[in-house]
Structure formats: C-alpha cells, structure tokens
Structure 1
Amino acid sequence: MGRPRGFDEATVVRSAAELFSTRSYDGISMDDLVTHLGVHRNSLYKTFGSKRGLYLVALRWSLRHHIAPLVDRVAAAGDLAGALRVALGEPATEAGLNLLLMAAVERAPVDPEVADELAPVLAAFDQAARTAAGRHPDRDEQDDDGVALALTATILGLRLRARAGTPGTTIDQAGAALAHRLTRHT
C-alpha cells in the first residue's frame, strides 16, 4: 500500500487554476507550480501526470465552478444591459474569465483538447446572451445570434482590456457606459 496523499487535490486544483489565470501556460514552470502549490514535484506528476495534465484539470474545474455559474446568471439577467452588469460586476469571476481568455488565446490554437473544452462553454455563453437579450419581433433570428455573439465578445474583450491595464479606462466605466446605452436602446 502506498503512502497516503499529503495534500488536498481540490485545493491544489483551485490554486493551480488561479495561477494559470495570471500567467501564460509556457510562463509557468514546474518549479513555479511546486512553489505556488506547496506540493512536491513527484506528487504533482503522480497525481496529474504532467503540467499539461494539471492544467487541463484546473481549466475544467474553472469552467465548471467559475464560468458555468456565470453563464447561468447571464442567461437569467433579463436583458442585455443586465447580462453585461452581471458578467463584469462580479470580482469572483475574474479568475475564471482570465483563464478562459488565456486558454482561448494561447492554448486552444495549439491544443485540440483545450479547444474541445472551450467550444461548448463559448456556445453556452452565446446562448446565455441570446436568452438575456430576449426575442424581439423586429429582429430576425440571425440578428439575435449576432447580438449574442457581440455581447459575449464584449464581455471577454472588456476582461482582456482590464487584464492589460489599459490606462484611462476601467472595466467598470466601460461596462457601465455600455449597459446604460443598452438600457436606453433595447
């Protein structure tokens, strides 16, 4: 019988998701993971197989625990402005949106498994935006799809700008201004 595991796997996965949301995958070494997570390298390899294995588990955890609940709240928002406020107004979702962005930009183009994880999540985000927008008799279905895609892109784009630390504009200002405009015109 092997030695009992000396760490809580769920805690390690959560901490790894947080770390992967702050830096590029290639910018994080196994030494960084060992230091950040406080878990011995051999234990990480034994449990997750590789850095990529840990990354995939952390990504899936974040998509399930950060993004899926956010998508549900966006769908329940009632209108586009409310959906935007929900998506941008929750500091707890920043790490999840950051990891989603990082995965979409840097890993999905080179890792089909990551792309496969993200595709249904982005489709669910679009559907939530479509639900929040509601059905308007003066818009056709194709227009509704375009509005949903635009809202998803806006949420992710504003999160990206916030990550980049764009001077003079805060995500709160931009989101509030857009939500105000949407409230007046929808």
Structure 2
Amino acid sequence: MGRPRGFDEEAVTAAAAELFAGRVYDGVSVDDLVQQLGVHRNSLYRTFGSKRGLYLAALRWHIAHRLPSLTEQLAAGTEVVDDPTLDLLLLAAIERAPRDVEVAALVAKAWQALEQALQRAPTTRPDGPRPDALNALLGERLRVRAVVASADPA
C-alpha cells in the first residue's frame, strides 16, 4: 500500500492556476512548480501525470471556481478590468490554445460564458450590448496587465 497523499490536491491546483496566470506556460518550469507549490516532483507526476496535466487541471479549476464570480460581476454591469481572473484565460488563449486542442476547447467554453454574461449586462446602448464587448474587455485587461508589468522593477 502506497503512502497517503501528503498534499491537498485542490489547493495545489488552485496555486498552480495562480502561478500559470502570472507567467506563460513555457515560463513555468517543473522546478518552479515543485518549489512554489511545495509538492515533491514524484507526487506531482503521480497525481497529474505531467506539467501539462497540472496545467489542464489548473485551467479547469480556474474556469469552475474563478470564472463564475467574474461572469456574475459582468452580468451585473460591474467594471472588472482590474480583476486578474482573465489573466490565465488570456495566456492560455495566446500561448497554448493554438497548439493544444484541449486548452482551446476550455478557453472557448470560458469565452462563451463571458459573452453570455456580457449579453445579460445592463447597457445604455439602445441597440443592446456592444457586439465586440468581450474583445474590448480582453483588450483592456491586456492593456492594464502590460502597464502593471512595465511598472514592475523586477
């Protein structure tokens, strides 16, 4: 009988989502994951199979646990440009989705949820919400993130 798992899988997955939201997939090494998450390399591989497996678990967790709050805020008409919830989705869309069909499907599902929330949002436009509201939101978040990154002396 193997040893019991010495870590909380959901907590590690959530922490991995935060780590991947801050840097691109290729910018996070397995050593970074082991060090930042406090999980032994063998445990990481045994639980998630690979770095990609952890990434997919983190992206799924993020969509299931972080996205609903953001969609509720959007549907209520709340300004969310400063909300980092979009960061992992943006990075996944730019870096991983073009070459990973599973990531592309997850990102598409998230975009659909965001678009539906924006369609429900109150609007002052007589013809309803902007047809490019999601693109505008994503572009604005990219801009905010770039400004913050350029101000970081690290």
Give the TM-score taking structure 1 as reference length: 0.74
Matched, 1:120 2:109: yes
Matched, 1:132 2:125: no
Gapped regions of structure 1 (runs ≥ 5): 168-186
* Residue in structure 1 matching 2:88, options 83, 95, 99: 99
CA RMSD of the aligned region, Å? 2.2
Counterparts of 1:166 and 1:116, CA distance in 2: 29
SS in 1 for 2:136: helix
**Amino-acid identity (%):** 52
Counterparts of 2:4 and 2:148, CA distance in 1: 47
- Indicate how the Cα distance of structure 1 residues 47 and 130 shifts in structure 2: closer, same or farther if over 3 A, else same: same
- Partner residue, 1:74: 74
* Residue in structure 1 matching 2:147, options 123, 142, 165: 165
Matched, 1:4 2:1: no
Matched AA of 2:118: A
In the TM superposition, residue 88 of structure 1 has moved relative to its aligned partner by 2.5
Give the TM-score taking structure 2 as reference length: 0.88
In the TM superposition, residue 121 of structure 1 has moved relative to its aligned partner by 1.5
CA contact (8 A) 2:81 2:144 kept: no
User: Counterparts of 1:52-63 in structure 2 under 5 Å?
Assistant: 52-63=52-63
- Partner residue, 1:24: 24
SS in 2 for 1:88: coil
Residues matched between the structures, number: 150
Matched AA of 1:68: P
Name which one, 1 or 2, has greater alpha-carbon Rg: 1
